[in-house]
Structure 1
Amino acid sequence: MKPTSISLALLAAFGLSLPAQAFESFVIKDIRVEGIQRTEAGTVFNYLPVKVGDRVDDEKAAAAIKALFATGFYSDVRIEADKGVLVVSVDERPIIANIQIEGAKEFESDQLLKALRENGLAESRTFDQAMLGAAEQELKKQYYSRGKYSVRVKTTVTRLERNRVGVAFDISEGLVATIKQINLVGNEKYAEKELKDTFQLNSGGWFSWFSKSDQYSKPKLQADIEALRSFYLDNGYLEFNIDSQQVALSDDKKDMFLTVNLSEGQQYRISDLKFAGDLIVPEETLRKLLDITPGEVFSRSKINAATTRISDRLADEGYAFANVNAVPEVNKEKFEAAFTFYVDPGKKTYVRRVNISGNSRTRDEVIRRELRQLEAAPYAGWKVKRSKERLDLLGYFTEVNIDTPLVADSTDQVDVNVSVTEKQTGNIQVGAGYSQSDGMVLSGSIAQANIFGSGKYLKLELNTSKSTRVYAASFTNPYATPDGVARGFDIYKRRYEPSNNVVGTYSNDTLGAGLRWSVPVSEYDGVNFGLSAERSKLTVYGNSPREYKNFVNKYGDRNLTLLGTVGWARDTRDSALFPTRGKLMTVSGEAGLPGGDIKYYKLTAQQQWFVPLNKTFTFLWNVEAGYGGGLGGQKLPFYSNFFAGGVGSVRGYDSSSLGPRTVDTVRNADGTVTTLNASDATGGNRRLVNNFELLLPVPGMKTDKSVRLSAFVDGGAVWGEGDKLRFNDMRYSAGLAFSWIAPVGPMKFSYAKPLNNKPGDKIDRFQFSLGQIF
């Protein structure tokens, strides 16, 4: 055998073991492969740069060794000549049979195995000792991202039969390193405390155990740096700069110290605002979108918002790819900046296709009927935006995204890609509360808002307390017609017996059924109407108010009511779950129609107004009013009176406890007079409720959209027929509420303190409810 000697010099850097002599040039008669156990000889032949019939010399032999070694399959490669036969001898690298991770609690093992696989270490792959160091560093990197800088990783490699190995990582996670101190250097215009309020990271607080705001991570720090930069740029500091940032770790790797060095510069004001380019929309219209005036302090967020509004306005005209740039002209002597908005609308755009993805349960047609942007139609930005809002308001999806990519090989066509993430639309709702008069109150319902992915709604309800028991079933088809006319029906059985409540003593058993329709009349408005029949049985007692007894004596204890309803609603809210802007306005009426025994009418109106004060705070004003009376010479039935107090009206007061009270008297045989039920609330024919609420994030959890606090002031009153409308009859309360979309379902807690309660008022300060999603 005559091995190649040139390989000693050529391949020493590859660590290959090579014989000392060079073989003479010869023509290959055959090729023999030795040392293979797992790979096929064909694999070697595929990578060899020579074949039978070729003449091989030192140079080609060296090239063959390099080619085989570069595959990574072999730890050693040798080439020899034996009587015209090229002998290729290899030592195969072992294969990784299994990888085990022990001691991992912070991460799922699959997550760590994925990180190792992305770095070349995985089962069934070739094992390379050099990979272990990189694998250990990758595991540590994962833990560093969670603030565990004291993590230790021990690696064990076990040789197995058939040239295989097992790799085991034993992880000692250690403790999370927390931020001990954050230092800002260079700030003169603003106090350090004010600047630190813009940070997500902090040195610990009441909610750090939940928000983990005291645990360092590089992405969080970079986000805080950008928040700090935005703060200064929004306050006129055009030349603000972050000079450097340092992160120091204590010797025991438990504490971290962050230092940010900054240069504030001078505050700039806006000197002028101009437009240039192709102004397809009149400049007067564009200028109204700026919300900026010359002379005010420069704000980057205002400039960016203005360019966005201008782009959106152009998109509404069909220019999907309009480009708007605000270019500054800086005067460093006067500390002023003039901005020119350069407008390039591009080409008018059309929609080629609407593609829907992510809806494994919801049918395509349920999504498509909510879309306002149609296929083969001119593109309109407001239609795309409104389509997303309508899909969000359905409540079927946790996330809705709409992208409008440019069609390949086209300059004026886009596709509209609608991507949804479905959520469970079945809901079991459970409510519980306690009041001084009614004791424990339990309620429950089971509903499915998207039956078989059809968008139809079905609800079964059970509500029970000492005074009330309700069994009800409701069904709604939101698209009974292609035009979006909704149709539904309700069947219900109610028993109301406020014997132990603050309302006058009586009982009312009602069995009813009805149909209802809802007709859209514009993008945000709709009208609804319905017709139902109710059969009621009234029972009064010896201690019932005289008004109740007189009603039963006049109209009987059993009666039929044909109930008609009509209403109008306008909903411009941005979300049905946690609105931050928009209005909900409703006007409705109901009447006991001719053909029934009881004839009356009731009118109600409500407005909810959500006003964003800034990015995190929202103000809510809710006002409701109601008025009712009798028809055909009758009076408004006492059981249809308006009531106030409790959840949904004036928190802090017991349910239905506010308003007129009975003052019946009975003369006894001995001549004395007894007052009956002096504290019973009988309701009235007029009601006014007013709520002011400040919706705010939980401290330390500003970015968590699943929780929200609110501070509220409620006011309300009810007046009976003939009572003078006096606003000093209003009762007020103030308190705090907490809402949490928990893993077990939505939860709400509220605590209210009455502000002007009077003797005889029933107080109920604490209330809560919870729901379970299935």
Structure 2
Amino acid sequence: MQLNRFRLTTCAALASMILVAQSAWAVDPFTVRDIQIEGLQRVEPGTVFVSLPVRVGDTYSDDKGATAIQSLFALGLFKDVRIEVKGDVLVVVVEERPTVANVEFVGTKEFDKDVLVKSMRDIGLADGRPFDKAQLDRAEQELKRQYINRSLYAAQVVSTVTPIERNRVNLTFTVVEGEPAKISEIRIVGNKAFSESTLRDLFDLDTGGWLSWYTKSNRYSRAKLNADLETLRSYYLSRGYLEFKIDSTQVAMQPNKTDIGININITEGERYVVSSVQLAGEYLGKEDEFKSMVTIRPGQAYNADDVAKTTKAFSDYFGNFGYAFARVEAKPEIDRVNNRVSLVLQATPSRRAYVRKIDVAGNTRTRDVVVRREFRQLEASWYDGDKIRLSRDRVDRLGYFGDVAIETQEVPGTPDQVDLTVNVTEKPTGSLSLGAGYSSGDGLGLSFGLKQENAFGSGNSLGIQINTSKFNRVVVLNTTDPYFTEDGVSRTFDLYSKTSSPYQDEDYYKLESSGASLRFGVPFTEIDTVFFGAGIEKTTIVPGTLLPASYQSYADEFGYSSTAFPLTAGWARDSRDSSLAPTSGRFQRANAEWSFAGDAKYLRATYQFQQYFPLSKQYTAAFNTEIGLGSASGSRSYPVFKNFYGGGLGSVRGFDQGSLGPRDATDTVIGGSRKLNINMEVLAPFPGAGNDRTLRMYGFWDIGMVGGDNAVNANANDLRSSVGVGISWISPVGPLRLAFAKPIRKFDGDKIQSMQFQIGTSF
């Protein structure tokens, strides 16, 4: 009875409220004579008037009033809106949301403040924007998510809203980051063919070592774990275990949220051998061409890598003929009795397609034209897989982007057309090179270089190089336009001034040279570029004490100043997989210089060859050789100031920079017209760094010599050699290499420099 009485009372109250609301809201339609707005502080009145569905002179109704309130709320600027009617005047009363005056972060050590400010701006919390409590809640969750991505599961985020004058608020995010979650144990259960330690060595995640503060390899990350599981799966599938599977993965976190244990349960299955490979489906009448691409070999263990490589080669080859949607599937027919598997490669070319348009995305700094001019796939042309891959590689080789990927999208309603989107990720294109060497006899020598490869996003490069060592004082300015013509001919200007002196005393002799040159680079093929140019150079021997006899002899014969007009020609080919940390591929470069006029007439040529061999996922062998030859042109002697020098970084490490070569009667190193350098390296993971490729150690063996016609002729007896170990680090300012070398073949008078380092070079 009481319950029924309560229900009756409640219903009566609700009905009364509805009647009151309807009587207060309902108005008879009328013509609006004026519209007034009350409550504005920071929002412009025009913003409100534009959003209203009614104007002066219009007929107002309840429906228009409801629409007006909805429109004003949709602006996100007000937390309360109501409409009052005073006669034939419409009064819009608003209450503005507070405006964010400042966003501050306290206790954030893991992230740079600018990164956090940007993430808050993406959510909608930024200086000058309206404050919304819902956005604040999302901001807290976003901060926690970012900390979880850094394995800081114990991080706590507390937000504080502080009202200030003029209806503004200050937002403060106070973070207690806590300790990162670290992996204390990784267990693999179910393995029989391979030891648990062998399988764990495949992982980038580990339980930590003395360098974990740098590699962070013991910080748990779901993305890294998934990548390691794929590595584990690939390891088994490439060794015949066709039915290998990962049954489950348990990640157990301790209550303190800082210790994590990982258990991976696997089933290896049996090892299968390929019995046969067959082609099925439509192959455009080119079965022989497709068969030549098959890397799967009957009689060998099933290898998923070979299967993937073959199907990809098939798909790419179909793409060369415009079949962008070709499907190639490897269907295994398993004989479990004999542990054999027969593979059927089923191909469906589908339809041929055109490329409708090409878009560029992600280039916040680089202009579109810089990317587009590298493309060999054209719009409104047949889809060509080879040209698309070549285009992607050419964009990547620019060096302006950290990542380059091309997406293919079907055009809705047009089955024979596709759109291509080139997604790029900008990276810093300025490079800083620093070099230093120290020896007891010559002290400290420094070199500095600064180069901007993508100046102002134009694709042009600007560079400066300075060397302050006692032997070489250099100032070089250069600029390159890689597309001086639409066909890709590059143009380079060089302006330089060099002073060479073996002693830091103005009374001793110096060798000064200055000049300018203009070079062009012509792309003859997609991987070959030929360079040619011309220049002018003036070289002056500044007499002083201890002037080498060879310099004095040259000055007596031709004078202390010489002018040369060299013509240059060169060729370059680069197929390395990376210019910073290559693991495979080859680099070749040849240059020739001929001074046909002026006081100094000569021929000078150099050739460099580099080859990289991937020994395994972790180990790389590298080989470098450089040859230099010089000869007089005409009746004059070969200019002594064009000699080659050896020793130090880029040559034979362990010897002082530029100290190798023939000496004259005054026992001064004068260099020679012939040079040979041979460098061999083996790069390996740095102890404790796991599979991190940015930090590696290497062992090396260097061989080299300098000789020539103006001294003792170069022969094997002049060879110097050294061995040593070093550290290679891809630092924020460029690749750094630190070497500790010990000469194993040296001569009396050689200057030894056992420790050397340089930033910005490979060998």
Q: Same fold (TM over 0.5)?
A: yes
State the distance in 2 between where 1:569 and 1:155 align. 58
Aligned residue number for residue 636 of structure 1? 638
Secondary structure of the equivalent of 1:309?
Answer: helix
Give the drift of 1:140.
6.8
Task: Find 1:755's aligned residue among 718, 737, 744.
Answer: 744
Is the contact between residue 366 and residue 458 of structure 2 (CA under 8 Å) also seen in structure 1? yes
State the distance in 2 between where 1:114 and 1:479 align. 38
Give the drift of 1:341.
1.0
Aligned residue number for residue 711 of structure 1? 699
Paired residues for 1:598-637 under 5 Å: 598-637=600-639
Aligned residue number for residue 690 of structure 1? 678
Give the drift of 1:567.
1.8
Aligned residue number for residue 659 of structure 1? 661
Letter in 2 for 1:687: K
Is the contact between residue 281 and residue 314 of structure 1 (CA under 8 Å) also seen in structure 2? no
Is the contact between residue 647 and residue 653 of structure 2 (CA under 8 Å) also seen in structure 1? yes
Paired residues for 1:52-201 under 5 Å: 146-148=150-152, 150=154, 172-201=176-205
Secondary structure of the equivalent of 1:226?
Answer: helix
Aligned residue number for residue 599 of structure 2? 597
Letter in 1 for 2:382: P
Aligned residue number for residue 338 of structure 1? 342
| Alpha-carbon spacing, 1:7–1:389, altered in 2? closer, same or farther (3 Å) | farther
Letter in 2 for 1:692: M
| Alpha-carbon spacing, 1:257–1:687, altered in 2? closer, same or farther (3 Å) | same
| Alpha-carbon spacing, 1:382–1:8, altered in 2? closer, same or farther (3 Å) | farther
Deviations 1:327-369 (A, max 9, x none): 1011111111111111122222221112223334433333222
State the distance in 2 between where 1:771 and 1:621 align. 18
State the distance in 1 between where 2:513 and 2:440 align. 27
Secondary structure of the equivalent of 1:200?
Answer: coil
Deviations 1:276-312 (A, max 9, x none): 1111263332233232211111121221122112212
| Alpha-carbon spacing, 1:295–1:140, altered in 2? closer, same or farther (3 Å) | same
| Alpha-carbon spacing, 1:310–1:617, altered in 2? closer, same or farther (3 Å) | farther
Which has the larger displacement, 525-534 or 441-450?
441-450
Secondary structure of the equivalent of 1:481?
Answer: coil
Is the contact between residue 509 and residue 545 of structure 2 (CA under 8 Å) also seen in structure 1? no
Task: Find 1:394's aligned residue among 398, 404, 411.
Answer: 398
State the distance in 1 between where 2:497 and 2:345 align. 64
State the distance in 2 between where 1:453 and 1:195 align. 45
What is the TM-score with the length of structure 2 in the denominator? 0.78
Is the contact between residue 695 and residue 727 of structure 2 (CA under 8 Å) also seen in structure 1? yes
Deviations 1:683-740 (A, max 9, x none): 2222211122234454555665644544332211123227565435322223334343
Aligned length: 682
Letter in 1 for 2:524: V
Task: Find 2:720's aligned residue among 721, 725, 731.
Answer: 731
Asked whether 1:432 is paired with 2:436, we answer: yes
Aligned residue number for residue 55 of structure 1? none
Letter in 2 for 1:345: P
State the distance in 1 between where 2:305 and 2:446 align. 49
Give the drift of 1:180.
2.1
Aligned residue number for residue 533 of structure 2? 530
State the distance in 2 between where 1:143 and 1:341 align. 46
What is the TM-score with the length of structure 1 in the denominator? 0.77
Task: Find 1:471's aligned residue among 471, 475, 484.
Answer: 475
Aligned residue number for residue 740 of structure 1? 729
Is the contact between residue 516 and residue 531 of structure 1 (CA under 8 Å) also seen in structure 2? yes
Aligned residue number for residue 293 of structure 2? 289
Instruction: Quote the RMSD (CA, aligned, Å).
Output: 4.3
Aligned residue number for residue 258 of structure 1? 262
Task: Find 1:645's aligned residue among 637, 647, 670.
Answer: 647
Which has the larger displacement, 253-262 or 649-658?
253-262
Letter in 2 for 1:612: P
Instruction: Say which one has the larger Rg.
Output: 1
Task: Find 1:311's aligned residue among 310, 315, 324.
Answer: 315
Deviations 1:112-153 (A, max 9, x none): 9799999xxx9966889xx99x99999877655544455567
Which has the larger displacement, 141-150 or 375-384?
141-150
Deviations 1:166-192 (A, max 9, x none): 999976544334222222222222111
Asked whether 1:579 is paired with 2:588, we answer: no
Asked whether 1:230 is paired with 2:234, we answer: yes
Which has the larger displacement, 604-613 or 379-388?
604-613
Letter in 2 for 1:712: F
Aligned residue number for residue 218 of structure 1? 222
Letter in 2 for 1:357: A
Asked whether 1:516 is paired with 2:505, we answer: no
State the distance in 2 between where 1:602 and 1:434 align. 31
State the distance in 2 between where 1:102 and 1:5 align. 57
Letter in 1 for 2:532: F
Letter in 1 for 2:270: Q
Secondary structure of the equivalent of 2:312?
Answer: helix
Letter in 2 for 1:512: G
Which has the larger displacement, 298-307 or 389-398?
389-398
Is the contact between residue 432 and residue 733 of structure 2 (CA under 8 Å) also seen in structure 1? no
Which has the larger displacement, 313-322 or 295-304?
313-322
Question: Percent sequence identity over matched residues?
Answer: 40
| Alpha-carbon spacing, 1:431–1:105, altered in 2? closer, same or farther (3 Å) | closer
Is the contact between residue 540 and residue 548 of structure 1 (CA under 8 Å) also seen in structure 2? no
Which runs of no fewer than 5 residues in structure 2 stay unpaired? Answer: 27-38, 40-60, 63-96
State the distance in 2 between where 1:617 and 1:101 align. 43
Is the contact between residue 459 and residue 475 of structure 1 (CA under 8 Å) also seen in structure 2? yes
Which has the larger displacement, 215-224 or 595-604?
215-224
Asked whether 1:352 is paired with 2:356, we answer: yes
Give the drift of 1:260.
2.2
| Alpha-carbon spacing, 1:213–1:570, altered in 2? closer, same or farther (3 Å) | closer
Secondary structure of the equivalent of 2:204?
Answer: coil
Give the drift of 1:155.
9.6
State the distance in 2 between where 1:140 and 1:513 align. 57
Is the contact between residue 272 and residue 337 of structure 1 (CA under 8 Å) also seen in structure 2? yes
State the distance in 2 between where 1:6 and 1:289 align. 87
Aligned residue number for residue 547 of structure 1? 550
Give the drift of 1:387.
1.4
